[in-house]
Structure 1
Amino acid sequence: MNYDTVIGLEVHVELSTKTKIFCGCTTEFGGQPNTHVCPVCMGLPGALPTLNKRVVEYGIKSGLALGCSINKVCRMDRKNYFYPDAPRNYQITQDEFPICRDGYIDIEFEDGTKKRIGIERIHMEDDAGKLLHTKAGSLIDFNRAGVPLLEIVSRPDMSSAEEAILYLEKLKGILTCIGVSDCKMEQGSLRCDLNVSVKPAGSEKLGVRSEIKNLNSFKSLEKAIEYEVKRQIEAIENGEKLFVETRRWDEENLRTLSMRSKEAANDYRYFPEGDLVTLNISDEWIEEIRKTIPELPHEKYVRFIKQYNLPKYDANIITSSYDVADFFEETVDICSDSKAVANWIMGDISAFMNEKNIGINDTKITPQHLGNLIKLINDGKISNAIGKKVLSEMLENGKMPETIVEEKGLIQNSDESAILDMVKNVLESNPDNVAEYKNGRTNLFGWFVGQVMKMSKGKANPKIVSKLMKEEIEKM
């Protein structure tokens, strides 16, 4: 039997506010355990919460960027449950009246086709603490307790791991672009719960879903979907009864494990948060926030293809990061070579950033560095190969390319007389290879050029080398 997969994501986004959602404690990542706390975020008796206005602003801003309608009247609610890392034994969240509803994200596949994924709701809430499991026992760090979150709940519109990843990538790009979160998955700023079920192909009736908690990487999301779909199908075909449950992802063994039966809404005994007033959001405030939304990644993607004549693949990579897109445009303004800029960013610079696990603004180079480097290459002053060496040094020490080229004597040799001597030397020293080339082994031409470049220690102008090499071989 064939099966359809049904996927929905609940994405938890840690907001980039300086203080927590209901108190003045810092949201800075790290710090000694239990030092970013106060009576409010520790839930001590008599401590009253005060809602951070910036959290509401970021909620509205996210909703507008995701095509949602903004609920002008909304409130905070108590969600009652006991976990060791929940200091109050309840979470302050939003139940019936969330800040945003009915949005969407359009994802695009490699073949150019698109699909719209619905967003059911966005609500504000506070985060719990963090459990640390050690050999000595389980410890709790409450530094994260009270950090503001947006929970973005999709509709069950995705049907494959590919679609889920495209959705999450685009969501991450939008949220980073509008500045509400850094979305650093390795620090827990973006994590998601996966809801997945399978059903007979074409059936209208949904299958029994499982929720997999706290996936914090695209790879984990992909592997969890693949494993869980396979597990559910095998269970159905073996006659096993599936039940709604919450599972966790075992990263080491690449499998999901059952945690508990899935709670229903009434298990949480939601009721209005009596210590916080109802929110009344004005049209004027919504419009003020709307004006602060910059050009979104998918809008930038379309513009980059048209304005800079970039291939779709290049445009997609460049616009996936707001910082990278800005760096790209500033560099193009300097050197006027959009394709070269894209190639350097997607190649050597991206490799360096991945190796160091940093963003482009955390490197030691600026658009001026890269723009000047590309101009040196395009002006024939250094070769592309030398350019790679210069870039490597720029990334390490932040020196301008002109300085590195001058200090190391890397200016490209365009003296045709000197290059011609080297070309003749290579041909005269390799008569057998010349004979083979004349007999049809034309791929040896690149070898001849390479020998000249080696002889010149990479400084010979490769265009001149190729031109003279061709002329000299034709004379023989």
Structure 2
Amino acid sequence: MQNLEVVIGIENHIELKTKTKIFSPGTITFNATPNSKVHPIDMGYPGTLPILNEKAVELALRACKAFSMKIDPLMKFDRKNYYYSDLSKGFQITQQFHPIGKEGYLGIVDINGKEKKIEIERLHLEEDTAKQIINQDEIYLDYNRAGIGLIEVVTKPVFTNAHDVCAYLKKIRETVLFLGVSDAKMNEGSLRCDVNISLRPVGYKELGTKVEIKNLNSINNVERAINFEINRQTQLISTGKEIQQETRRYDDKTRKTVLMRSKGGALDYKYFPEPNIPPIQLEKKWIENIINSNNKLPDQIRKEYFEKFKFKEVELNQLLTEPVNVEFFEASLKYTKKHQLVLNYLNAEIQAFLNEKNLTITQTQLTPENLGNLINKLDKEEISSKQSKTILLEMLKKEISIDEVISKMNIKQITDVKQIKNILEPIFGQNKKLLEEYDNRPERVNKFFMGQLMKETRGQVSPKIGQKIIEELIAKYK
């Protein structure tokens, strides 16, 4: 590796968030019964004609704007001709010669912690192919995916390591997610990654023989596949063997890349203009209206929240994993001023519940108003932290107000000083020997008595009042 350098380029296929497919009225439903969402247009039946989905063009324009790309207002499509089992009609409608966007970039923080612009060569629209399910020596085909609208985003070969590739993938995912362009779920295939890797002697300008790794479905697998392939190619070169131009896939079980097929050049596809879709001239005003109405991007939100709330970067990154979390956060601030507590609950207890149930926050019964009211009661010490978590769990499951939960579960907060002292006095009387350790281990002694108090009251004592009384009794007895 001392005499070789790595060159990597990325191609992302991103499913567009439309209700119907890009060239047909076929509906889109994830996880539907295989081959139940198939349309004759997408299968290329004789006599069928494609009709371009306007929403797909709109979403592509939004992405072009976010990636600072030059937009081509003249829409032209081409046929990419090849035979493969996942393409029943023998060709794919794409934009080989006239991409809707070109010459853009996306900023990342690179492996050295520096800001870096990743150059994006092109963004074009195309249709998806059928999904292949490999089961040992058999391949099953699900044509539900055939015809779903995609944008393909192609970088220049500017990466030199797996870290920067993963940083770019995270950035492109959150960008299209917050724009509403795509669900961008790698595990469901709505965001897929093809990696092109080559090695060359240090100082050479020409690229080495390129190997493509197709359809990587997680950021972890992207990193593993790149590192494995770099090592594989290095070993081949060091033993005098030739790198073959080929397409490979990553095997989760063996954690190795596996040969799929030899790779031909672009001329093998025999591109020609799509005869059934004439050129379409997009109106300048229509384009401007779309790109000027883009949602806020994650970097804008990060900057605003950091300046306004002084949140930590790790907290912000967790909140920004889903746009609906940000919307819920902002809606909750209409009912409470405790922004840090809102963030804490969203990132901790609420997110744990969502992960366990595989839900988004909009699929729960919790409302921003109820979360705000819960935090206000906690802040006023009308409920304890432990009680708040019990109440929150109930509100996530049922459409119920905090007062209804408190009444139903008979939750109360003990704040009466005399009552708390009466509970603590016997506990201190039974543990006088422990008080001798206080000067050396005050924290341990404090925690013990607080724990016993909470145990006796089932967590219904105000921690602040309870702690104050414990300190008074320690001073009295020790």
Q: Which bracket does the TM-score occupy, shorter chain normalised? A: over 0.9
1:190 maps to 2:183: no
Q: How does 1:104-143 map to 2 (within 5 A)?
A: 104-108=105-109, 113-133=114-134, 137-143=138-144
Distance 1:213 1:136 in 2: 19
Q: CA 1:7–1:356 in structure 2 vs 1: closer, same or farther (change >3 Å)?
A: farther
1:92 to partner: Cα distance: 0.5
Unaligned 5+ runs, structure 1:
none
Distance 2:435 2:217 in 1: 58
Decide which moves more: 441-450 or 210-219. 441-450
Q: CA 1:134–1:159 in structure 2 vs 1: closer, same or farther (change >3 Å)?
A: closer
Contact 1:5 1:198 in 2 (8 A): yes
Question: What SS is found at the alignment partner of 2:412?
Answer: coil
Counterpart of 1:195, as a letter, is N
Distance 2:54 2:201 in 1: 47
1:460 to partner: Cα distance: 0.6
Question: What SS is found at the alignment partner of 1:417?
Answer: helix
Q: CA 1:430–1:110 in structure 2 vs 1: closer, same or farther (change >3 Å)?
A: farther
Distance 1:396 1:67 in 2: 43
Question: What SS is found at the alignment partner of 2:220?
Answer: helix
Q: How does 1:328-347 map to 2 (within 5 A)?
A: 328-347=329-348
Q: CA 1:185–1:141 in structure 2 vs 1: closer, same or farther (change >3 Å)?
A: same
Corresponding position of 1:232:
233
1:204 to partner: Cα distance: 4.7
Distance 1:234 1:75 in 2: 44
Distance 2:156 2:383 in 1: 54
1:395 maps to 2:396: yes
Counterpart of 1:370, as a letter, is L
Question: What SS is found at the alignment partner of 1:334?
Answer: coil
Corresponding position of 1:320:
321
Counterpart of 1:93, as a letter, is T
Distance 2:296 2:371 in 1: 24
Q: CA 1:142–1:439 in structure 2 vs 1: closer, same or farther (change >3 Å)?
A: closer
Decide which moves more: 462-471 or 126-135. 126-135
Counterpart of 2:452, as a letter, is Q
Q: CA 1:373–1:106 in structure 2 vs 1: closer, same or farther (change >3 Å)?
A: same
Corresponding position of 1:404:
405
Distance 1:415 1:4 in 2: 72
Corresponding position of 2:382:
381
Q: How does 1:74-473 map to 2 (within 5 A)?
A: 74-108=75-109, 113-133=114-134, 137-199=138-200, 204-440=205-441, 442-473=443-474
Counterpart of 1:108, as a letter, is V
Counterpart of 1:395, as a letter, is L
Contact 2:111 2:163 in 1 (8 A): no
Counterpart of 1:443, as a letter, is R
1:385 to partner: Cα distance: 1.5
1:113 to partner: Cα distance: 3.3
Corresponding position of 2:33:
32
Q: Deviations over 1:169-191 (max 9, x none)?
A: 22111112111212222321111
Distance 2:126 2:225 in 1: 26
Q: CA 1:381–1:271 in structure 2 vs 1: closer, same or farther (change >3 Å)?
A: same
Distance 1:15 1:308 in 2: 34
1:256 to partner: Cα distance: 0.6
Distance 2:187 2:366 in 1: 24
Q: CA 1:429–1:280 in structure 2 vs 1: closer, same or farther (change >3 Å)?
A: same
Distance 2:110 2:328 in 1: 26
Contact 1:310 1:338 in 2 (8 A): no
Counterpart of 1:379, as a letter, is K
Contact 1:91 1:126 in 2 (8 A): yes
Q: CA 1:438–1:296 in structure 2 vs 1: closer, same or farther (change >3 Å)?
A: same
Decide which moves more: 267-276 or 403-412. 403-412
1:459 to partner: Cα distance: 0.5
1:164 to partner: Cα distance: 1.8
Corresponding position of 1:73:
74
TM-score (norm 1): 0.94
Distance 2:222 2:417 in 1: 57
1:398 to partner: Cα distance: 3.5
1:201 to partner: Cα distance: 5.6
Distance 1:60 1:291 in 2: 10
1:133 to partner: Cα distance: 4.2
Contact 2:10 2:154 in 1 (8 A): yes
Distance 1:109 1:374 in 2: 39
Unaligned 5+ runs, structure 2:
none
Distance 1:339 1:107 in 2: 27
Distance 1:137 1:242 in 2: 28
1:56 maps to 2:57: yes
Decide which moves more: 194-203 or 324-333. 194-203
1:91 to partner: Cα distance: 0.5
Q: Deviations over 1:107-133 (max 9, x none)?
A: 236996322111111100011112344
Q: What percentage of residue pairs aligned between the two structures are identical?
A: 37
1:159 to partner: Cα distance: 2.9
Question: What SS is found at the alignment partner of 2:335?
Answer: helix
Decide which moves more: 73-82 or 355-364. 355-364
Q: CA 1:289–1:457 in structure 2 vs 1: closer, same or farther (change >3 Å)?
A: same
Distance 1:107 1:91 in 2: 32
Distance 1:311 1:381 in 2: 29
Distance 1:330 1:250 in 2: 43
1:319 to partner: Cα distance: 2.4
Q: CA 1:205–1:110 in structure 2 vs 1: closer, same or farther (change >3 Å)?
A: closer
Count residues with an aligned counterpart. 476
Q: CA 1:442–1:27 in structure 2 vs 1: closer, same or farther (change >3 Å)?
A: closer
TM-score (norm 2): 0.94
Distance 2:352 2:209 in 1: 42
Q: Deviations over 1:416-447 (max 9, x none)?
A: 11112223222211112111223445432212
Distance 1:80 1:327 in 2: 46
